[in-house]
Amino acid sequence: MTDSIVAGRPAATAHSPGRLRTYARLGKLDVYDYYLGVFLALTAALFPLGAFTGRDALVLALFLAGEIAVLMAMVALDDVTGFRDGSDLANYGPDDPRRSKARKPLVAGALTEPQALRFAWTCAAAGALLWTAAAVLAPHRPPWALIAAGALFAVSLQYSYGLKISYHGFQEAFLVALGAILVIVPYGLLTGEFSGFLMVQAVLFGFGPLMFGVYSNTNDVEGDRAVGRPTVAALVSERGNAVFIGALSAAEFLVGALASLTRTAPWWFVLLMLPATALRTRQYLTGFVRGDIMTARRTGFTVHRLSVVLMTVADVVVGWGATR
């Protein structure tokens, strides 16, 4: 098959709207949930209002643009590996009509492997430049923030490609760390500081990618086992996986509860987060009592977005109270 013919039809030109949509699918640009961490960094650093400058806003914008580029590179490389080893062909093939093949342009034949690799490495280069620009312009450059950003950049590109870190375990831990770093780094660049309450929010933010990731892994267990990708779902029994995800759901609640109890967070923080806790419980019941894993996975996105809204409210309340 040549680049000009896809599935028997003339392919879109390299810069046509159709081709751009295909690259957006390869980069999973519609899954914006990873990018919401910038709002937590913004609201945590916003007060006092007079201290937040146009320079700060530009730093956040550059970091966000770089974040989008880095994560598009990561997921594009993940798709290349999944296409090469056959796991995406299994998980998005005709035997699983619940997964849209269009979301995997390599499986659908809409892109070639060289095209996907060029896209991934172009995004990676853009991400490196944008994050460097954000650091150069930032009012603060604490070493821990620069190291965290550099580590995330390197590990993201090796997550499913190159060293294939996710094929040696650690996938679940990486998803939490990914979300947390995307909150603490921009905050560090703006303030030069680190706070316990921010770390609590960063960990809870990281639970978002984790909790729709583990439900995806539950659905993809056969394909992951076939290629030796050691997710928890692939390594343990069905019951063991249900216990594991139940424990994660409880741990998420306990993070907020212990933060309130120890006054790392305001005493009312755990109460504010109860709507997200209730929806997380519903997600578990949908997936492991009703047996509808894909609906439960979609619920995970709703839980994550609600959590971000609630934590943003907490930041505004705390920040406003501190300036009164």
Q: What is the pLDDT of residue 93?
A: 61
CA distance 229 to 164: 10
pLDDT in tens, 149-169: 999 999 999 988 888 888 887
Q: What is the pLDDT of residue 94?
A: 55
Residue 276 near residue 307 (C-beta atoms within 8 A) = yes
pLDDT at 14 over 50: no
Residue owning tokens 């490389």: 77
Q: What is the pLDDT of residue 97?
A: 53
pLDDT at 23 over 50: yes
| Among 31, 101, 37, 87, CA closest to 297 | 31
pLDDT in tens, 189-237: 999 998 999 999 999 999 999 998 999 999 888 878 887 888 899 999 9
Residue 66 near residue 131 (C-beta atoms within 8 A) = yes
Mean pLDDT for the stretch of residues 59-74: 97
Residue 66 near residue 126 (C-beta atoms within 8 A) = yes
What confidence category does residue 19 fall into, taking pLDDT thresholds of 50, 70 and 90? confident
Mean pLDDT for the stretch of residues 304-310: 97
Mean pLDDT for the stretch of residues 50-61: 91
CA distance 225 to 295: 22
